[in-house]
Amino acid sequence: MANMANSEACASPLELFNSVTTQGEHVRALKAGNASKDEIDSAVKMLLSLKMSYKAAMGEDYKANCPPGSLAPSSNHGPDAMITEAEEDFVDPWTVQTSSAKGIDYDKLIVRFGSSKIDKELINRIERATGQRPHHFLRRGIFFSHRDMNQVLDAYENKKPFYLYTGRGPSSEAMHVGHLIPFIFTKWLQDVFNVPLVIQMTDDEKYLWKDLTLDQAYGYAVENAKDIIACGFDINKTFIFSDLDYMGMSPGFYKNVVKIQKHVTFNQVKGIFGFTDSDSIGKISFPAIQAAPSFSNSFPQIFGDRTDIQCLIPCAIDQDPYFRMTRDVAPKIGYPKPALLHSTFFPALQGAQTKMSASDPNSSIFLTDTAKQIKTKVNKHAFSGGRDTVEEHRQFGGNCDVDVSFMYLTFFLEDDDKLEQIRKDYTSGAMLTGELKKTLIEVLQPLIAEHQARRKEVTDEIVKEFMTPRKLSFDFQ
Amino acid sequence: MANMANSEACASPLELFNSVTTQGEHVRALKAGNASKDEIDSAVKMLLSLKMSYKAAMGEDYKANCPPGSLAPSSNHGPDAMITEAEEDFVDPWTVQTSSAKGIDYDKLIVRFGSSKIDKELINRIERATGQRPHHFLRRGIFFSHRDMNQVLDAYENKKPFYLYTGRGPSSEAMHVGHLIPFIFTKWLQDVFNVPLVIQMTDDEKYLWKDLTLDQAYGYAVENAKDIIACGFDINKTFIFSDLDYMGMSPGFYKNVVKIQKHVTFNQVKGIFGFTDSDSIGKISFPAIQAAPSFSNSFPQIFGDRTDIQCLIPCAIDQDPYFRMTRDVAPKIGYPKPALLHSTFFPALQGAQTKMSASDPNSSIFLTDTAKQIKTKVNKHAFSGGRDTVEEHRQFGGNCDVDVSFMYLTFFLEDDDKLEQIRKDYTSGAMLTGELKKTLIEVLQPLIAEHQARRKEVTDEIVKEFMTPRKLSFDFQ
């Protein structure tokens, strides 16, 4: 997966402006320097795509020498321009861009992607079907969108089987708390529905996209698997696999990959993922590898040769393009379409419109952080929706919609009443930013410490067992 | 392999003209019918590519309403036009086109592909190195071109190891005698050099290119393997594998596929293979799968994790584009470039410029033909270089350069003196076409009958053993 947890790329308007400018200069340099046609074509394509992203994020065309915020002579934007900006977020598996401090507008994304909102009715139905209180990620709209979840529930209520599939792109050893979101939720789904789960580590993808060796990518897959296992998955119902490993161990996986690859053209992946002629044939064909685990006979050791077992994929919404493609192909090759549950993105400490980066330790809370590091990061870096002075804050109150500490609490503070009280107190000004941050620190410190303790228990033998193709225990009809 | 034995597609000038005309009409119909931009783009691309093929084969641009042979108003072609035509043959893994009854001009192909001619000196060196008389395919220029064969011999003389790799694209159960050429030669190489051999059955490729199910493609792979085994390969030194099967059984194969895929762009495969945006991502990424067996660690069961064992690939020259790509990638991923030995194409019964087709039983001698069928086919369909009447033939003699029966004898009659006598007698007119055909029939009938007898001995157990990943017996340092 590019990143099932959440995408780490959000560029500010000025950053976007600067990348268009730089790329424009690059194209001119190439043309001046008699570069090859291919090289120039590819640079021009990139320039056009950057300009499109700029327009999508800013609501107006890029104009040289007019950075965002400056007075563009030909612009007739009134106060509505800000709204237009927020309207056009950009989301794909590699880039998530918004200029709004509140983050992406998810209602608009649902309309654009053609998925369905997870509404109260669906949440109630999940509660009735499982007999369990819905997870706070559902209650709070963190998992906010779905495809065909009602079909999964129909099947479940008729005692028909389904299985869960999620994944991670192991781009480094370092995972942050945001990466845990889909896994925390998937564990809950596994517990309440009592179903088997497959977790794909796309080390092949990371090898293809990043400057990594095969061994490094595989090493990250194994290290990341330990953090995933530490979320508490049931070893008897969970199979974790590295693509690099599993492709050479499974009689079913490659066959499904080839089936999918036969039914998807370059035109299609170009349209969905924005690939260009300069991309490697590995990247171009990779989407089939992320698609294949959506079909049960990719796992003959678990499901035999059954092709009819419904798959449910919990993931961040930026992964949806892969599964739109998968759902498009499924009927052509005689398989059921996978259902999906989509989560929102996890914001960077610096704010929902900034870029979270594994190379910047201050952009998030990492799973290896000490209690002290957590305290310092939250206090120093978490973007605040509070006022400039205590007096102003007391008088006008803080803004929870842009306050990253409050956003993090919606992810990790399970107590609804307490969260609501914080929201009220912070909005009214009764609670100061320092107090809000203190609450978050007190939630995160034990959460990370407990994760670290559980991860320490995950021995190499346990990882090996999770990653061995084998029967899983479940009772399907 | 698209077809390591030889390509089956040679279009006549008129067929080429007609395909351009038809495609032009198709484009106009799409535009008139408001087809999608993609559909039109792809049809236009195909039209341009057909026009290019036409120009390559004919030496002049396609002109509507001026089929080849007609008087083109703007053409200033004198008698040289025929030479120009013959000069520009078209060869890629799916299409072999020439307008000459003598077939492709192989000397020109060597220059165009940048390979080296197998000259007397190299043949002598092979004789010295192996202590064996060179195979008649070498002596007669049927294997006529190579890349780095001297390097293989250097290594061999220094007791350094190498291995052989060849393959077949199993597009149907029916194999004809032409398909045996690379296998007959590879068996000889295995015998005289005493080296291990891997044979790739590209059932995945045939599934991607043809209207076949995975099971059908795999079934053809197994059936074709029986014909290959019947060539007499040493079971202790030979591993035959279906891609669909082996990908899921080998810890090394997929890793090399991904490595290659990372280092080849769509631009490159577009340039080499002529893929378009409408091609499936399976086709686009397939060249990496044909490339991977060129590297020894794709076979850990045979070579362990050694990456330094030189590979030698005997194949028909139309497969060279795959291995030009492979040789380009090899240094980028730290592996030695494979060496190659290229064969000419096996002509169709109807002549070297016509199309050999598995769906036309009269276009070649099939491995399942009875003695009677062989006799009838040769007598009825083998294109003759003889004269129209016995009197003329006696007076002016026949033309061995275009006579298909004589061409087949150069492939299958091992006795050099006898072949030379036939050439002399037929050229002088002393030998009539009926006598030449009779000689060919007497060579082919026992050859096919013996092949059939050997194939009958190939049990499912023997196939299974050849196709099981396992150690092979050889002594490498």
Q: Give mean pLDDT, residues B280-288.
A: 98
The whole-angstrom separation of Cα B98 and Cα B11 is 7
- Backbone φ and ψ for A459, nearest 5 degrees, come out as -80, 165
pLDDT of A447 strictly over 90: yes
Taking a C-beta distance cutoff of 8 angstroms, is the pair B318, B97 a contact? no
The whole-angstrom separation of Cα B88 and Cα B81 is 11
Residues of chain B positioned with their CB less than 8 A from the CB of A250:
248
Could you identify the residue written with the tokens 């043959």? B89
Among B41, B259, B260, B285, most A C-beta atoms within 10 A, so best to mutate, is B285
Residues of chain B positioned with their CB less than 8 A from the CB of A266:
266, 275-281, 284
The whole-angstrom separation of Cα B45 and Cα B23 is 10
Query: Which percentage of chain B shows pLDDT scores above 70?
Result: 83
Among A203, A206, A266, A281, most B C-beta atoms within 10 A, so best to mutate, is A281
Encode pLDDT of A253-268 as tens digits: 999 999 999 999 999 9
The whole-angstrom separation of Cα B421 and Cα B456 is 35
Provide the pairing of β-strand B143-147 with A310-316.
unpaired
Could you identify the residue written with the tokens 């969905």? A272
The whole-angstrom separation of Cα A451 and Cα A374 is 14
* pLDDT, averaged across chain A: 88
Residues of chain A positioned with their CB less than 8 A from the CB of B270:
277
Encode pLDDT of B297-353 as tens digits: 999 999 999 999 999 999 999 999 999 999 999 999 999 999 999 999 999 999 987
Q: Do B266 and A244 touch (CB under 8 A)?
A: no
Complex-level ipTM: 0.82
Taking a C-beta distance cutoff of 8 angstroms, is the pair A341, A348 a contact? no
- Residue A272: C-alpha distances to residues A27, A261, A415, B266 (Å): 25, 15, 39, 16
Residues of chain A positioned with their CB less than 8 A from the CB of B263:
280
Q: How far is B95 from chain A (nearest CA, A)?
A: 21
The model's confidence at residue B65, banded by pLDDT at 50, 70 and 90, is low
Could you identify the residue written with the tokens 């592996």? B335
Provide the pairing of β-strand A339-343 with A310-316.
parallel
The whole-angstrom separation of Cα B169 and Cα A170 is 36
Q: How far is A129 from chain B (nearest CA, A)?
A: 38
pLDDT of B77 strictly over 50: no
The model's confidence at residue B241, banded by pLDDT at 50, 70 and 90, is very high
Provide the pairing of β-strand B143-147 with B162-168.
unpaired
Give me A433's structure tokens: 């930013």
Helix and strand counts by DSSP (H, E) for chain A:
23, 9
pLDDT of B33 strictly over 90: no
Residues of chain A positioned with their CB less than 8 A from the CB of B325:
none
Which of these, A112, A83, A110, lies nearest to A99 by C-alpha position?
A83
Q: Do B259 and A38 touch (CB under 8 A)?
A: no
- The pTM (predicted TM-score) of the whole model is 0.83
Provide the pairing of β-strand A310-316 with B197-201.
unpaired
Q: Which residue of A has its CA nearest to B258?
A: A282
Closest partner CB to A284 (pick from B208, B251, B285): B285
Q: How far is A263 from chain B (nearest CA, A)?
A: 6
Encode pLDDT of A122-143 as tens digits: 999 999 999 999 999 999 999 9
pLDDT of residue A71: 36
Q: Do A262 and B208 touch (CB under 8 A)?
A: yes
Burial of B436 from C-beta contacts in 10 A (0-12 / 13-18 / 19+): buried
- What DSSP character marks residue A334? T
Q: What angle do CA B310, B315, B317 make, to 5 degrees?
A: 115
Encode pLDDT of A154-209 as tens digits: 999 999 999 999 999 999 888 999 999 999 999 999 999 999 999 999 999 999 99
pLDDT of B160 strictly over 80: yes
pLDDT of A4 strictly over 60: no
Give me A54's structure tokens: 């700029």
pLDDT of residue B73: 32
